[in-house]
Chain A
Amino acid sequence: MITKETMDLNQQAIENVVKQKIVEIAGQLGEDASELQNDDIIPATGLIDSAGLLELIAWYEDFYQIRLAQEEITIDNLGTLSTMAEFVLRKKGLV
């Protein structure tokens, strides 16, 4: 199991961990998100609803220890697995 202490901070690793979380949330709603691709627009897939997205963002902030301003919660920054991974790296000054 990946924890805050054991996580890798690189693009692919972050994409994989975020996808795992989306699969978990979608599963609670009776959806299968295992086929989600890195460039799929997450809200447009219909795999998780608004409350699920809210749960995802709250988890993302806590897990990666980044503080999001409400204005940063946009499609451009967090719309896909790829952009979510890039955003973590950018916030932590790793790119």
Chain B
Amino acid sequence: MAVSIHVPRVNNNDDEVKLISLRVAVGDSITRGHLIAEVETDKAIVEVEAPNDGFVLGVLGSVDDTLTVGSILLWLGERPDEPVPSLKAPSAPSSQGAVGQPTAKARQLLKEHNLEASAVPASGNRLTAEDVERYINSRNQRASASQTRPAEMPPEVEGQLRDLRSEERGMLATVTWHRDVAVAGYIELEYDPAPWEIYAKAFTEKHKLLLNPLLSLMSWRLVTLAQQSPILNATIVGNQRYEYSAVNLGFTVQAGETLYLTVIRHAEALDEIGFVNAMGDVQRRAAVHKLGPLEIQGTTISFSSMARWKVSRHIPILPPRTAIMIAHAVSTDGRSVLGASYDHRVLNGSHVVTVLRKLSKPKDRE
């Protein structure tokens, strides 16, 4: 059966990318991992690789085209003579058809949201609940962004209207989700950083690390807390709470002018040093803008630190479809603060204070 390969998300804030190279043509036989194409935004380039072996049946983009994230880029078949399921324009929503059967969870979500499976792009051979979530989220963002366009009439004071860049449009959509969908709250507490510093120092010496693992260790602590309390790793779907099966830990990385929300997927499957190494690896590649699409999407819970900037407080915008984002800060006078933006539809103040208190010290100091 033919499978579709979709245009990846390069940056959390970009809904469109530019196709800058195409390495295959119709009829080519390619193997899993083969470089298919490269796409870019203003700040980053991502390579698209074949998810499995196959023959290129159809390509729905040309070099220099601007493509919509999630639209079909290419069809891959088991045989070179397989029919191509669809070759409509890549930006048309109707072309984003799923090719595999939906999973049970995906079917449930489709039903709840009155969606047709053919309208939702699949990331693999089957349409998953995550695909449906991503589609709903993207649709909500587009709807929210369209509701917040500047008023028809400009202000009375003289000025000029400028078009937003794609990443600016994406940020507008994200903050609009935070404002219009989540019921966002913020709580913070000061904490004594000494136990964490002692723990991180011992960990550094034990593993002879070059990079300070403190923030990775605190993020790992958040992963373990999310495992213990699934409500932290959840969102609202309709009138129900949707608890994610995986803990996909999002962590903000500023690379030049680009702010990435890097994602360690299935973080709960790693051990502590495995997680610290995974964080180091993804941060290193973020620094040179070489992240894969799965490393910048699908976060279910997240952590952000502005300790480097010595601010006393920052109130982060919640990544869409998540319940909590931790905000770490250290002010110039050495005051250490842990805060959290949270979706009050999912969590109450007691949940948040509890997680912040637990997070304020390593597990061995509980």
CB proximity to A under 8 Å, residues B254-288: 254, 277-278, 280-281, 283-285, 287-288
Whether A53 pairs with B210 at a CB distance below 8 angstroms is yes
Partner of A79, one of B210, B277, B283: B210
Whether A50 contacts B211 by the Cβ 8 Å rule is yes
- In the assembled complex, the Cα of A61 lies from the Cα of B254 at a distance in Å of 19
Task: Please tell me if the beta carbons of B211 and A55 are within 8 angstroms of each other in the complex.
Answer: no
Contact of B208 with A by CB under 8 A: yes
Contact A43 B210 (CB under 8 A): yes
B87 to chain A, nearest CB (A): 39
Determine how close the nearest CB of chain B comes to the CB of A63; give it in whole angstroms.
11
A-B contact count (CB 8 A): 49
Q: In the complex where A51-B308, A70-B277, A73-B280 touch, is A58 in contact with B210 (Cβ < 8 A)? A: no
A89 within 8 A of B: no
- List B contacts of A61 (CB < 8 A): 284
CB distance from B172 to the nearest CB of A (A): 27
**Is A66 interfacial (CB 8 A cutoff)?**
no
Beta-carbon nearest neighbor of B208 in chain A: A74
Decide yes or no whether B212 CB sits under 8 A from chain A: yes
The 3 A-B pairs with the shortest beta carbon distances in the complex, nearest first, are: A58-B287, A70-B277, A74-B208
Binding site for A on B (CB under 8 A): 207-212, 215, 254, 277-278, 280-281, 283-285, 287-288, 308
Chain A residues near B (Cβ < 8 Å):
43, 49-51, 53-55, 57-58, 61-62, 68, 70-71, 73-79
**What would 24 A/B residue contacts be, using CB atoms closer than 8 Å?**
A43-B210, A43-B211, A50-B211, A50-B308, A51-B254, A51-B308, A54-B283, A55-B287, A58-B284, A58-B288, A62-B288, A68-B284, A70-B277, A70-B278, A70-B281, A70-B284, A73-B209, A73-B210, A73-B211, A73-B280, A73-B284, A74-B210, A75-B210, A76-B208
